[in-house]
């Protein structure tokens, strides 16, 4: 059994995903989950048995098979799960992967705090990238929560982003959208170099 840490997870991602922007999406979700882990710990929330590093790995790998399954979106996550059979992985982490793309795969609906946080921040990170790209210098530092909510209401902007999925944070994660967006943006801004924005 292989060991799964940030390094081997990133390697697995890179072996299976060549598109740099897709990779950056995975890093963004990883860094965001890691930021949320700290936030929940500070708030005394029940984060479960995984470490902060393992939360980040969930983000790094959640879309690792996306490039290979683009033409068969209902296979997305199944490929990843088959690759992960070679790795020593806690059940909680495996469960989290199984919830991603659950609407198509029907494997497992999100249940835990980690799983719902992944579900809600996934689309949001993409939305924030879309906003950064229309800023004068295309920088994450030019984005603020106000501009995010403004764009949120513009239905034509980044149409593919499912707003509803993000807004579930209130009910499912127990964080109001304003705060959820603030934490996600902070995580991304602190990793702007990695994200190239």
Q: How far is the CB of 42 from Fe ion (least distance, A)?
A: 26
Q: How far is the CB of 122 from Fe ion (least distance, A)?
A: 4
Measure CA 196 to chain center.
17
**Residue 35 interacting with Fe ion (CB under 5 A):** no
**Residue 122 interacting with Fe ion (CB under 5 A):** yes
- Residue 180 near residue 149 (C-beta atoms within 8 A): no
**Residue 63 interacting with Fe ion (CB under 5 A):** yes
Q: Name every residue whose Cβ is closer than 8 Å to that of residue 98 and which is 6 or more positions away in sequence.
A: 77, 81, 105, 107, 108
**Residue 115 interacting with Fe ion (CB under 5 A):** no
Q: How far is the CB of 137 from Fe ion (least distance, A)?
A: 25
Query: And the tokens for 156?
Result: 């034509």
φ, ψ of residue 147 in degrees (nearest 5): -65, -30
CA 109 – CA 95 distance, rounded (Å): 9
Q: How far is the CB of 44 from Fe ion (least distance, A)?
A: 28
Nearer to Fe ion, 112 or 144 (CB): 112
Interacting residues toward Fe ion by CB under 5 A: 63, 122
């Amino acid at each position: 059994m292989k060991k799964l840490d940030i390094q081997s997870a990133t390697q697995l991602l890179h072996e299976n995903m060549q598109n740099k922007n897709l990779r950056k999406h995975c890093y963004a979700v990883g860094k965001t989950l890691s930021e949320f882990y700290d936030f929940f710990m500070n708030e005394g929330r029940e984060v479960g048995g995984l470490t902060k590093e393992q939360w980040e790995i969930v983000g790094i790998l959640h879309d690792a098979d996306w490039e290979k399954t683009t033409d068969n979106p209902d296979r997305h996550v199944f490929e990843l799960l088959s690759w992960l059979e070679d790795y020593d992985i806690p059940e909680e982490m495996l469960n989290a992967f199984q919830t991603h793309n659950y609407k198509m795969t029907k494997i497992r609906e999100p249940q835990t705090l980690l799983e719902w946080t992944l579900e809600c921040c996934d689309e949001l990170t993409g939305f924030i990238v879309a906003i950064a790209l229309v800023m004068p210098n295309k920088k994450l530092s030019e984005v603020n929560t106000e501009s995010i909510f403004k764009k949120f209401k513009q239905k034509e902007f980044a149409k593919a982003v499912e707003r509803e999925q993000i807004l579930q944070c209130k009910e499912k994660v127990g964080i109001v959208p304003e705060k959820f967006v603030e934490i996600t943006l902070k995580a991304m801004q602190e990793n702007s170099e990695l994200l190239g924005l």
